[in-house]
Structure 1
Amino acid sequence: MTIKEFFSFRQNKYFWANLIAMIIVVALALFGVLKGLDIYTRHGEAVVVPNVKGMGVAEAEKLFRNQGLSCIVSDSSYVKNLPAGCILDYNPSAGQKVKEGRTIYLTINTLSTPLQVVPNVADNSSMRQAQARLLASGFKLAENQYIPGEKDWVYGVKYKGHTLTNGEKVPVGATLTLIVGDGGELPQEGDSTGTDAGTPVSSGDSAADESWF
C-alpha cells in the first residue's frame, strides 16, 4: 500500500460525516453527564442556615423545613437561666451555607434540672465553713434554722423541710437551710418537770391521814 492510498480515506465524505457525528455524540454525552451531576449534587445551590438559637425544637424544625433542611437533637446541656428545651447551639451554625437536605445537629437545654450531691457539712463544720462550701457549689441559702446546741455549729442541712442525709442529691442551684446551734444547752435525757414519786409527804398531810384511825 502506497502512502497515497493510505491517506485516500480523507477524500471519503462518509468518513468525515461519521467522524463529526461521533464527536457530536461524545460531546452531548459528556454534557449530559456533567449536567446530571450538577442536578444530583445541586452544584452551585446553597442554603443559608437560619438563626434558631433560643427557639424551641418544634419552632426551629419548622423553620429548617421551610429552608429545605432537617434537624435532630444530638446533645443537651444545662443553663439555669434559660427555658428547658430551648436551643443552645447547633452545627452548622447560623449564617453558614449548606446544601439543601443537610441535617442540622442541635444542642438543647435539658428538659429537667440535673441533680447534684450536697457537700457533707453536717456535724463537721462551723456555720461560716458550711456557707462557704455550699455557695461555692452553686447552692443558695435561706435563713438558718437555730436549735439548742453549740453556737454556730452546723447540725444538719434541710431542703424544702426535709433534713438531708450524707450523699443525698438535690436540684442544681437549690435553696438550702442550715440547722445551726444557738449556743443554748441541749436538753438532758431523764429531765422531768413533774413531782418525783419519792417526794416526802408533809407532816400536816400525815396528821390528817392519822385522824381516820
Structure 2
Amino acid sequence: MFEAITKRPFWFNVLAVIVFFFVLAIIFFSLLGAITKHGQTLTVPDVRGKSVNEAMMILEKAGFEADVRDSIYIDTIPALAVWEQTPEKGSEVKVNRTIYLTVNKVIPPMVLMPDLEGLTFRSAEMTLHSRRLNVGDTIYKPDFATNTVLQQLLNGKPIKPGKNVPEGSSISLVLSSGTGSIENPVPNLVGLTYAEAREALSASNLNLGTVLIDPGVSDTLNAYISRQIPARKNEMGDLNLVRAGESVDLWLVPVKPVKDSVIVTPE
C-alpha cells in the first residue's frame, strides 16, 4: 500500500488528504446535532415542596439530572423538602440538564437569643426576624413604658439573652400596656412577707419598685415589709390612689412590724 501511495504524484496524495478531511468534517457536523441534542429542549417541572427523593425521581423521569446544591432551614416546610430549584419551574432547557436543588435541613441550627427587654415591639420583632426567630404570643401587662418588652419567653419560660435556641423558635413577648386610667386604693403591704407582697402587687397590676433591705435580713423572701411608698393612707387618713402599672417601693426587715405607720415622703 505504501508503494502504491509513493508511486502516485504528490499533488494527488495532497488532494486525497484534503478530500478525506472534508468528508470527515461533513460527517462530524452532521452528527453534531445528535451528539449535543441541539434543538431538543424540555420544560423543567416544579418540584418545590416535595421530598428530595421524590423530586429526584420526577426530574430523572422527565429527562434531567438532579443534584442537591445547598441546604437551608425553614420552619414552615418538612425536613428534606425542596425549598428552591435552579433552573426554575417552566424553564426551557436541554435534555439531561442538571437541576440544582436547595433542601430543608433536618436539624435546625442554633442561634443566640437576643436581649429584647426595653425594646419597642417593632424593634423586638425586627431583631427576632434578623436572627431567623419568630414572634410568638404577645402578653400585655400594665407598666408605664407603653408597648415596650418587659420579658421574653420560650415555651412559657423566661429565656436569657445569649442562650442558644433553635432557629425558627417562637418567642413570646410580655409587653407593657401603659398605666391604667382608673385609680384604685394602694394595697396595704406592711406586715406581709416579701413573697406575699409581690403576689399582692401582681394581683393589683402594680409593679415592684425599689426594695431596701435591712442589714439583719438573711432570708429575703420571708422578710417582712415595714414601710411602703406610696403608703396605704396619707397623713390626712385618706386612702392613696394608684393606677395599674405604677410602682410601689418597699422596705424589708427581719421581724414582723407591730403596726402599720403612715409614711410621708419628703417634697
TM-score range (shorter-chain normalised) is: 0.5 to 0.7
Matched, 1:133 2:123: yes
The CA deviation at 1:62 is 0.5
Deviation at 1:47, TM superposition (A): 2.4
Structure 1 residues 155, 47: closer, same or farther in 2, change over 3 A? Answer: closer
Rate the CA distance shift 1:178–1:60 in 2: closer, same or farther, 3 A: same
Find the partner of 1:191 among 223, 236, 240: 223
Q: Which amino acid aligns with 2:223?
A: D
The structural deviation recorded for 1:61 is 0.5
The letter of the residue matching 1:64 is: L
Which residue of structure 1 lines up, in the alignment, with residue 67 of structure 2?
Answer: 72
CA contact (8 A) 2:149 2:173 kept: no
Q: What SS does structure 1 have at the residue aligned with 2:139?
A: coil
Q: Is 1:97 the counterpart of 2:92 in the alignment?
A: yes
Residue 41 in structure 1 maps to residue 36 in structure 2? yes
Structure holding more helix per residue: 1
2:55 is equivalent to residue 60 of structure 1 = yes
**Contact (CA 8 Å) 2:70, 2:103: kept in 1 or not?**
yes
SS of the equivalent of 2:68 reads: strand
CA distance in 2, matches of 1:40, 1:69: 16
Q: Which residue is 1:119 aligned to?
A: 114
Question: What is the match of residue 261 of structure 2?
Answer: none
Task: Decide whether the 8 Å contact of 1:145 with 1:177 is kept in 2.
Answer: no
Following superposition, the deviation at residue 50 of structure 1 comes to 1.7
TM-score scaled by length of structure 2: 0.48
Task: Determine which structure has more spread, i.e. the larger CA radius of gyration.
Answer: 1
RMSD: 4.1
With 28-37 and 95-104 compared, the bigger mean Cα shift is at 28-37
Question: What residue in structure 1 maps to residue 170 of structure 2?
Answer: 174
Deviation at 1:66, TM superposition (A): 0.9
- Classify 1:173/1:161 alpha carbon distance in 2 versus 1 (closer, same or farther; 3 Å): closer
Name the counterpart of 1:7: none
Identify unmatched segments of 5+ residues in structure 2: 1-11, 130-134, 177-201, 214-219, 226-254, 256-267
Q: Aligned pair in 2 of structure 1 residues 133, 113: CA closer, same or farther (>3 Å)?
A: farther
Q: Distance in 2 between matches of 1:157 and 1:78?
A: 23
Opposite residue 174 of structure 1, the aligned amino acid is S
Q: How big is the shift at 1:162?
A: 3.6
* 38-47 vs 182-191, greater mean Cα deviation: 182-191
Q: CA deviation at 1:82?
A: 3.5
Write out per-residue CA displacement over residues 68-123 of structure 1, whole angstroms, 9 at most, x where no aligned residue. 2111122344544433433233222223232222211122344444554443234x
8 Å CA contact retained: 1:142, 1:175: no
Gaps of at least 5 residues in structure 1 are 1-17, 197-213
- What CA distance in whole angstroms lies between the structure 2 residues aligned with 1:154 and 1:25? 85
Q: Kindly indicate which of the two structures has a greater share of residues assigned to strand.
A: 2
**Equivalent residues, number:** 171
State the alpha-carbon separation in 1 of the partners of residues 161 and 106 from structure 2.
Answer: 27
Which structure carries more relative contact order (alpha carbon 8 Å, separation 6+)?
A: 1
Superposition TM-score, scaled by structure 1 size:
0.58
Aligned residue number for residue 211 of structure 1: none
Task: Tell me the secondary structure at the aligned position of residue 143 of structure 1.
Answer: strand
